[in-house]
Homo-oligomer: A and B are copies of this chain.
Amino acid sequence: MSLQAGSYTHQEIMGQPQAWETTLQAAEQQIAPEDWLDKTSKLAYTLFVGCGSTYYLSLSIASLWRKLVGQPAWGLPASEVWLYPDYTLTTQAGDGLFIAVSRSGETTETLRALDIYQQRGSGSTLAVTCYADSSLARQAEHVWLARGAEEKSIAQTRSFTSMYLLLQVGAMLAAGRKDLLAQLRALPEQFVQLVGKYEVLVKGLAENPRFERFIFLGSGANYGLACEAMLKMKEMSLAPSEAFHFMEFRHGPKSVVAPGTLVVALPGEAACQWEAQVLSEVRALGASVLAIAENGKGVVADYMVELHSGLDELGRRRLAMPFLQLVAYYRSLYRGLDPDHPNHLDAVVRLE
């Protein structure tokens, strides 16, 4: 046990600026831009594979990859690749790339999924992990390390955003967009300013006894981040929480909205008009809305985190994560739980 409930988690959430800096340096040492561009330009498809947090990371990065690189890319749960390979993988013409993401590099399902892909011999493999000496790092052809992003807590926070950062760099370089890297360098400083400005707001929402149910909405590359926020809330605070694509929420799930629901929204630039309409509808049904966006233009919300980053959406996306992590962290403490040691969970899922 940690000495004080949640002390590791808090340290890891707040340590993200440092982890991002060391990881960005590591990315520059580990990825040779020209080789990577050459290799990826020939790909027919890319698969991103993980479990839990790293599955949601995979969903978001695959979406970003489609947008930036314009090639087919999909995020998959490792267990589905392992246990249902014929329902999940297919024969595809051309070169493929299989990117396995695991904080520990020891998650059984991810190792087995990598086995399956290697047995089928359909392409090359890359491990993204925090540990150089892990089984995953040894088994994959190539390795990218998120340096300084290791964690003592069970719930992933800085490891999530740091492995995300590595793959953001990968997507930008595969798109020949070196110019975007400067945006990533601005994030550690912006993190410090934004958390300084908004931590009190987020803590207040987490400790508001009125909220019994949390809904996270995001579309495009924000959908995977909304899912990760849902998981953080479940893991740390055990609060009922769900994630949906913005417009999908109206096709049924909206039926459960009531006063006591906090909808946390990650609107995107492309569809802000439609997403704002969804938020107006849930507010009319009595829910409260927290929106995390570059600015409040066009969005009516009860609470707002305005990033004012001045950065492109492709670079700034990760800035929403600390607030999604903090709302779960403070909710956990408020409920008398220990965010470092969630209910029924282990840090690494190993199967016999």
Asked if residues A70 and B90 are in contact (CB atoms below 8 Å), the reply is yes
| Integer count of this chain's copies in the complex | 2
Give complex CA distance A77, B246 in Å. Answer: 10
Give the shortest distance, in Å, between A201 (CB) and chain B (any CB).
Answer: 26
Closest Cβ neighbor of A83 among chain B residues: B271
Give complex CA distance A79, B53 in Å. Answer: 24
Give complex CA distance A254, B73 in Å. Answer: 28
B64, B84, B220, B252: the one within 8 Å of A271 (CB):
B84
Binds B, one of A10-18, A128-136, A303-311, A344-352: A344-352
Asked if residues B90 and A343 are in contact (CB atoms below 8 Å), the reply is no
Is A253 among interface residues, defined by CB-CB distance under 8 A?
Answer: yes
Q: What are the interface flags for A219-258 relative to B under an 8 Å C-beta threshold, 1 for contact and 0 otherwise?
A: 1110100000001001100101010011110111111110
Asked if residues B84 and A70 are in contact (CB atoms below 8 Å), the reply is no
Give the contacts of A151-205 with B (CB-CB under 8 A).
155
Q: Contacts of A1 on B, CB cut-off 8 Å?
A: none
Closest Cβ neighbor of A64 among chain B residues: B87
B87, B234, B247: the one within 8 Å of A109 (CB):
B247
Contacts A66-B90, A70-B91, A231-B253; A270 near B344 (Cβ below 8 A):
no
B45, B79, B253: the one within 8 Å of A248 (CB):
B79
Which of under 10, 10 to 19, 20 to 34, or 35 or more describes the interface residues of A? 35 or more
Closest Cβ neighbor of A65 among chain B residues: B90
Is A71 among interface residues, defined by CB-CB distance under 8 A?
Answer: yes
B72, B77, B89: the one within 8 Å of A247 (CB):
B77
Q: Contacts of A87 on B, CB cut-off 8 Å?
A: 63-64, 66-67, 219-221, 270
Give complex CA distance A74, B86 in Å. Answer: 14
Asked if residues B240 and A240 are in contact (CB atoms below 8 Å), the reply is yes
Is A342 among interface residues, defined by CB-CB distance under 8 A?
Answer: yes
Asked if residues A274 and B83 are in contact (CB atoms below 8 Å), the reply is yes
Q: What are the interface flags for A54-70 relative to B under an 8 Å C-beta threshold, 1 for contact and 0 otherwise?
A: 01000000011011001
B45, B73, B253: the one within 8 Å of A234 (CB):
B253
Asked if residues A72 and B90 are in contact (CB atoms below 8 Å), the reply is yes
Is A260 among interface residues, defined by CB-CB distance under 8 A?
Answer: no
Q: Contacts of A342 on B, CB cut-off 8 Å?
A: 252, 255
Q: What are 26 A-B interface contacts by the 8 Å CB criterion? A: A51-B251, A52-B251, A53-B252, A64-B87, A66-B90, A67-B87, A70-B90, A71-B91, A72-B72, A72-B92, A74-B74, A77-B248, A79-B219, A79-B245, A79-B246, A80-B220, A80-B245, A80-B247, A83-B274, A87-B220, A87-B221, A88-B220, A251-B349, A252-B342, A254-B344, A285-B344
A residues at B contact (CB < 8 Å): 44-45, 51-53, 55, 63-64, 66-67, 70-74, 77, 79-80, 83-84, 86-94, 109, 155, 219-221, 223, 231, 234-235, 238, 240, 242, 245-248, 250-257, 268, 270-271, 274, 285, 342-345, 349, 351
